[in-house]
Structure 1
């Protein structure tokens, strides 16, 4: 009876490890099977810790990756929080915080992608080698 109880306790304690490994394997398999989705990397965080990491093709943990419009969304969220906390106003001129910018663009202009700053977009090659990542 003690032997059966020990086996059951061991199985109970090991179950989360086995299921976590199985979940990780299943997720990796799912990502690889859906390679047509063109996924470059997947990171899952829980309580400030990386609990799952996957990189495809030439990508790795130190690869620069273009965030495209994701950066706009995150920036807008952070500016909204800063304005709510009274740290800035969207009507403030950008040069108030970045004196090196001489134009009259306001934060709201930047959020609306209407700053008046011109940039020549040159695309081609691996994303970390694009002009956009070297700005």
Structure 2
């Protein structure tokens, strides 16, 4: 399965040369992840983060081409691996047929004090279903 997240490149994303300033891509990635938890897993961050956390433990990104103000990007999120306490996902951003970046990110499920903990049964089941892992 894949989750598609459209993202228009806005003025706020760009540097004075009119191209996306690379840290803004990480904000877009986080926006995509937050929308995924809300729309696919039915666990919106505004509820989930009252008692737990989902910090990014690792992220690797390769930039392939610049994006410019006004470009219509599509971020495609796919599940890579669901661990007992973590979730590794891949995000690919395209504009039309052109690849702009690829990222692999590992999220960790934590308690309110920031200590890693196993996914709740319900959330792990949803992540497994999304990634196609055997239930």
- With CA pairs under 8 Å and 6+ residues apart, which has the higher RCO, 1 or 2? 2
TM-score class normalised by the smaller sequence: under 0.3
* Structure with the larger helix share: 1
* Structure with the larger strand share: 2
TM (normalized to structure 2)?
0.25
Q: Which has the larger radius of gyration?
A: 1
